[in-house]
Amino acid sequence: MLPNSGAPHRAGSRGGLLASELALVFRRRRTWAMLLALGAVPVLIALAVRLTSGPPAGRGPAFLDRVAGNGLFVALVGMLVSIPLFLPLTVAVVAGDTIAGEAGNGTLRYLLLAPASRARLLLIKYAAAAAFCVAATAMVALCGVGIGLLLFPAGPVALLSGDTIPLGESFLRLGLVTAYAAVSLLGLAAVGLFVSTLTDVPVGAMAATAVLSVAAQIMGQLPQLDWLHPWLFTEHWMGFADLLRQPVLWDSFGENAALQAGYVLLFGGLAWARFATKDILS
């Protein structure tokens, strides 16, 4: 559904501000354009594999050579390809827009005059950005599963540990990978929220957030910055392989979640420190 084309939609007729905020984010044409672009990633991968003979084993993204044998791997490869750039880019747009978008639009002052307390507004804005992180990763996974099952055979999946798990459990593992990717983006969303409190120009906040996610990944590649790596919010982004072992190794999931929680607390705190006393002059 693409709203905004004809009849304007309604936001939150009975619910509270959170419901209204979710409706605002998820009924926006821009959000759906981003989600559709994310959904196109696994579709393109699947089509590329289907229409060619497939790459020789060991080349291209990990697991790409397994796609032709099992459609579920489309979702996995799609996630792997989207994590470094596509997913953070869309999250940067949503998170950078949170406060700066309202400020640029002038609606921030009316929300505060309603009154919504600044703390509540910040929390709700973050909650909606976090919901987008979940929706974005789910979109990649769902589109991947859909197109994979359509174009390729499905069946038990051979794991990295060599064990084979039945199809039902494979869906569960894919869900875990999706959750892992969504959690990975929560820190970035908090960074975006903070950047968004610094400016009244949403595009600036979005760009700055996107640049930070790329910069963190580049720093993660430099061996000279080894000491810094454990503190980068991008450090565990590609580390979901442990979820594909039998039994599941939860260590990387836990480390990633703790790191992201730290970022949420730190940048959420910074956003609050900035926003609580900011003069709203927009």
Q: State the number of CA atoms in the 13 A half-sphere of 198 facing the CB.
A: 17
- Binding residues among 117-146 for other proteins as defined by CB under 8 A: 117, 121
**Cβ neighbours, 10 Å, residue 278:** 14
Measured between alpha carbons, how far is 28 from 98 in angstroms, rounded to an integer? Answer: 13
Which has the closest alpha carbon to 72: 178, 187, 229?
Answer: 178
Q: Does residue number 1 form part of the binding site for other proteins (CB under 8 A)?
A: no
Q: Does residue number 277 form part of the binding site for other proteins (CB under 8 A)?
A: yes
Instruction: Give φ, ψ of 158 to 5 degrees.
Output: -85, 125
Q: Does residue number 94 form part of the binding site for other proteins (CB under 8 A)?
A: no
Q: Does residue number 12 form part of the binding site for other proteins (CB under 8 A)?
A: yes
Tell me which of 33, 44, 110, 153 binds other proteins, using CB under 8 A.
110
Tell me which of 1, 51, 57, 113 binds other proteins, using CB under 8 A.
113
Q: Does residue number 281 form part of the binding site for other proteins (CB under 8 A)?
A: yes
Q: Does residue number 107 form part of the binding site for other proteins (CB under 8 A)?
A: yes
Whether residue 104 contacts residue 282, with contact meaning beta carbons closer than 8 Å, is answered with: yes
Q: Does residue number 33 form part of the binding site for other proteins (CB under 8 A)?
A: no
Q: Does residue number 230 form part of the binding site for other proteins (CB under 8 A)?
A: no
Whether residue 220 contacts residue 229, with contact meaning beta carbons closer than 8 Å, is answered with: yes
Tell me which of 8, 162, 168, 223 binds other proteins, using CB under 8 A.
8
Tell me which of 106, 166, 254, 269 binds other proteins, using CB under 8 A.
106
Which has the closest alpha carbon to 30: 82, 84, 92, 73?
Answer: 92
Amino acid (one-letter) located at 99: I
Tell me which of 28, 229, 245, 274 binds other proteins, using CB under 8 A.
28
Tell me which of 36, 44, 115, 150 binds other proteins, using CB under 8 A.
115
Q: Does residue number 109 form part of the binding site for other proteins (CB under 8 A)?
A: yes
CB of 160 to other proteins, least distance (A): 46
For CA atoms 147, 76, 180, 249, the dihedral sign is: positive
* Beta-carbon contacts of residue 147 (< 8 Å; ≥ 6 apart): 42, 43, 46, 47, 71, 74
Q: Report DSSP state, residue 60.
A: S
Q: Does residue number 279 form part of the binding site for other proteins (CB under 8 A)?
A: yes
Measured between alpha carbons, how far is 94 from 213 in angstroms, rounded to an integer? Answer: 14
CB of 40 to other proteins, least distance (A): 23
Tell me which of 2, 33, 85, 114 binds other proteins, using CB under 8 A.
114
Which has the closest alpha carbon to 40: 84, 6, 88, 86?
Answer: 86
Choose the stretch contacting other proteins; rule: CB under 8 A; options: 10-18, 61-69, 232-240, 251-259: 10-18
**Which residue ranges make up the site for other proteins (CB under 8 A)?**
3-4, 7-17, 19-20, 24, 28-29, 105-107, 109-117, 121, 277, 279-281
